[in-house]
Amino acid sequence: MKSIKISMAISGIIGLVMLPIAISFLYNTHSFLREAVKTEGTVVDFISSPSSSGGSATTYAPVVHFQIPDGRIIELISDISSYPPSFTMGETVGVYYLPSQPKQARIDSFFSLWGVGASIGGMGLVFCLTSFFMFLISRLNKRKAEYLKRNGQAVQATYQGVEINSSFTVNGRSPYRVVTHWKNPVTGELHIFKSENLWYNPADHLKEHQYITVYLELSNPKKYWVDTSVLPKLANS
């Protein structure tokens, strides 16, 4: 399906864009910590704001005061807000700041220092892995079909119907699968075979087909491939 290929490409591109951005954030934090001086500050207030996830929730960013060697009191407003608040009023917290630019300061916590880079990097990794696994599954399915068509045993399985594969969704849509049954004449066991995902309902095209060809390994019927070549190809797939 064309939309799957597009989704796979978009997912990969987004991931490849996000990863360098994450590395940049992480590198900037690393550079900041190399030059920064650590001291202690006190939480004196919280700034409230609507939650970025929507709804009626309110998040709170701590306001910290800390003193530098020349006696000045510097105010630090955290870039990270949360609900419930990460700190309590009057709590003593670690603070990193640049001696040449004391207003360039960050609270000594994982999310204040590394949270942005880690979050972007994590999402970028998820996008890249999603794209990779979609590509890998597609390739493996194609190789399995080619192998079974060459080396497997062709059997005529009884057409049972069409089901929706609700475990997989792309752009809000789930694909269809052709369901067949085959009774092994040697063992007497009944096997259920399901086709690969189809992005249109093939039921109307199978009304005249009582049997569907399935290629399988007789020694291991779990390895099979349902031949849906009797169906029309989907345009622009």
Domain boundaries, the chain: 2-119, 152-226
pTM above 0.85, yes or no: no
Instruction: Compute the distance between CA of residue 35 and CA of residue 28 in angstroms, rounded to an integer.
Output: 11
Mean pLDDT for the chain overall: 92
In DSSP notation, 122-149 reads HHHHHHHHHHHHHHHHHHHHHHHHHHHH
* pLDDT exceeds 50 at position 182: yes
pLDDT at residue 237, rounded to an integer: 47
Q: Which CA distances in Å does 120 have to 35, 40, 117?
A: 24, 29, 5
The residue-averaged pLDDT of 18-34 equals 97
Instruction: Compute the distance between CA of residue 11 and CA of residue 129 in angstroms, rounded to an integer.
Output: 9
Read off the pLDDT of residues 135-173 as tens digits, 9 standing for 90 and up: 898 899 899 999 999 999 999 999 999 999 998 887 788
- Secondary structure tally for the chain: helices H, strands E: 3, 10
